[in-house]
Amino acid sequence: MKSKKLFCPVCKKSKEEKFWAMSGYRLARCKNCKMVWDFFPPDNLLAQYDKRYFINENPKGGYANYFDGMAVNKKTFSNRLKKIEKRFGKGKLLDVGCALGDCLVEAKRLGWKEAEGLEISAYAYKFAKKRGLKVKEGVLGNNTYAKDSFDIVLYQDVIEHVTDPVQELKRVKGILKPGGIVYLVTPDVGGLWSKLLGPFWYHYKPVEHVMYFSQETMRRALKNAGFTDIKTAKTYHILSLEYIMNRLRYYAPTFFDFMLKILKNTPFRNISFKAFTGELEAWGQKPN
C-alpha cells in the first residue's frame, strides 16, 4: 500500500526525508526548506493539557511543578515585556497559551492596561480566571477575536504544539491591528544545543511537540503568513537552580534526584540566572 503523501507545514512542498530524532521517535525534514515536524501527531493532541501537564514527574514533559516556578517565571516574562515595550510601547496585548496567567499578571504589574489571554487547558483557564485575569478558553479560530483587535500577540512556547503553524500565524495577522507585532518563543532545532546533543536534545518531546523550527524556517513561516520586518535570534529563560536540576533528571535520574534532595531545604534552590537552553525568539509585523 502506497504511503500517504506528506506536505511540509511551512513551504507546502512534498519533498521530505524521514529520520529517527531519538529512539522510537521518527520525524520528517523538508528537503526544500529544512522544516522538521512530526508527521504522525497523536489524535488527542489537545487532551494532554490538564492539571497533570502542570504538575508531573516526567522530567521531560510538561512542568515538574508550575507553581514552584512562578516566582522565577515572572522574571522571564518581565524581561520580555520590557523588551517589547522598548520597541513598540504598551499596546493592547494578547497572550496565546497564557497557562496560569503569569505573563498577564506581570503585564499588569508593569502598567499594561489592556492585556488578556487565551488558553486551551480548562484547568489553567479556570486558575487564571480566579486570579481576576481577562482570559478566554480555547484556541485561536476564525471567530475567537474580531479583526484588528490587538497591537501585540505573544506565542511563548506554543507554536511548536500547533499542527498548521502558517495557518495559525495567518489568524494572528488577522486579529492584529495594522503595524501590530507577533512575538514568538520556541525551541530552535537548528541551534547549538540541538546539534551538540542530537537524539538527547531536551526539546524532542514525543506527543507534546509536533513542530520544530530553526531561525530560518521560523522566518519563512512568518513570511508565508504575510508578516514583514521579521527578525529572529537565540533567546534565554531565567531559571532557578532547582528547576535546572529537575530537568537534568532526564539525563541522569539517580544523580540529580540525589542532588535535588540536598538542594530542597536550602536557600540555594531559588538562585536564578539567565540560561540559553536552545530556544529562539522571533518578531513579525503586520503591514500597515
In terms of Cβ atoms closer than 10 Å to its own Cβ (0-12, 13-18, 19+), residue 261 is: exposed
Block residue for cell numbers 522571533 = 282
Question: In terms of Cα–Cα distance, which of 123, 113, 2, 108 is closest to 63?
Answer: 123
Cα(242)–Cα(231) distance, integer angstroms: 32
CB-side neighbour CA atoms (13 Å) of 104: 28
Residue 115 covered by a domain? yes
pLDDT at res. 63: 55
Q: How many CB atoms lie within 10 A of CB 241?
A: 18
Cβ atoms of 139 and 108 within 8 Å: the answer is no
Residue 118 covered by a domain? yes
Residue 188 covered by a domain? yes
Sign of CA dihedral 154, 158, 159, 164: negative
pLDDT at res. 1: 39
Residue 5 covered by a domain? no
Flag residues of the chain having pLDDT under 50.
1-2, 59-60, 62
Q: How many CB atoms lie within 10 A of CB 185?
A: 21
pTM confidence score: 0.88
In terms of Cβ atoms closer than 10 Å to its own Cβ (0-12, 13-18, 19+), residue 165 is: buried
Range of the domain at 119: 16-285
Question: In terms of Cα–Cα distance, which of 202, 205, 284, 208 is closest to 249?
Answer: 202
Residue 9 covered by a domain? no
pLDDT at res. 273: 80
pLDDT at res. 15: 93
pLDDT at res. 249: 73
Residue 3 covered by a domain? no
pLDDT at res. 3: 56
Q: Count of domains in the chain?
A: 1
Block residue for cell numbers 521579521 = 230
List pLDDT tens digits, range 19-75: 999 999 999 999 999 999 999 988 777 777 776 677 655 544 545 556 566 677 888
Residue 1 covered by a domain? no
CATH number, domain containing residue 209:
3.40.50.150
pLDDT at res. 258: 77
